[in-house]
Amino acid sequence: MIGKYFFNNCIESKTINDPWSHQIIQDTLPQEEFNKLRQECEMLNVPKDKLVHIHPKDFDEYGISFYEQIHSISKNVLDNAKSLCDKYPEHRWFEDLAVNAHISVTPPLPYKFHIHQEGLEKIWSSVTYITPEKNVGTKMYTEESEDSFCKEAEWKPNSTFIFCGQQGKTWHSYESDQTEQRITLNLFLMKENKHCFYRG
């Protein structure tokens, strides 16, 4: 089951503490499932001059057949929220949790998503890199300034960048390269609200 596969990879992955706690997972999804998702994402016809988020309820409209898979992954994330977050001793917590998910399509440069922290409603974030083969990963900083850049989580299809947001600490940004859209699958474990995709 893909949800269990995803969860096991998250749990078995070590936590890296430089410059702040995060995980890098390789081969996050079963290869056959990932290949199909990647092919469908490569066929997406969306504007190339703005950031686009495709939510699971709209997957069919965009020709993406990953609804059951993202439902399985989201269920496993929510069912095992404590185990996932306990890899990060300083994580936030809420009693009423849910999972939000979307496919994110970032346009080529000059678009850049500014250096930011996760919203206070988010406690655990994962970004799975889908396509193209080469692009820009997630940039990490120690402050809200370009001068504090520390490292970049390498872009590699079917790898995942995970962290628990900490106020004043987990500064990050993302962008695409100069020629291609950057497509990722993003999941957030967060305080429940009516817009969340999976609420148990």
Residue 200 predicted with pLDDT over 90: no
- Tell me what the mean pLDDT of segment 57-81 comes to: 98
Is the peptide bond between 132 and the residue preceding it cis, with omega within 30 degrees of 0? yes
**For position 189, what pLDDT does the model report?**
98
Per-residue pLDDT of 71-111, as tens digits, reads: 999 999 999 999 999 999 989 999 999 999 999 999 998 99
**For position 39, what pLDDT does the model report?**
98
> Do 40 and 68 contact (CB within 8 A), yes or no?
no
Which structural domain range is residue 17 located in? 2-191
Residue 178 predicted with pLDDT over 90: no
Report yes or no on 161 lying in a domain.
Answer: yes
Taking the CA atoms of 6, 95, 55 and 50 in sequence, report the sign of the dihedral they define: negative
Is the peptide bond between 110 and the residue preceding it cis, with omega within 30 degrees of 0? yes
Report yes or no on 199 lying in a domain.
Answer: no
Report yes or no on 198 lying in a domain.
Answer: no
* Cα-based angle 184, 193, 130 (whole degrees, multiple of 5): 5
Per-residue pLDDT of 135-165, as tens digits, reads: 999 999 999 999 999 999 999 999 999 999 9
Report yes or no on 57 lying in a domain.
Answer: yes
Q: Whole-angstrom Cα distance, residue 68 to residue 49?
A: 30
51: CATH: 2.60.120.620
Report yes or no on 196 lying in a domain.
Answer: no
Report yes or no on 55 lying in a domain.
Answer: yes
Which residue reads 């890199």 in tokens? Answer: 129
Report yes or no on 45 lying in a domain.
Answer: yes
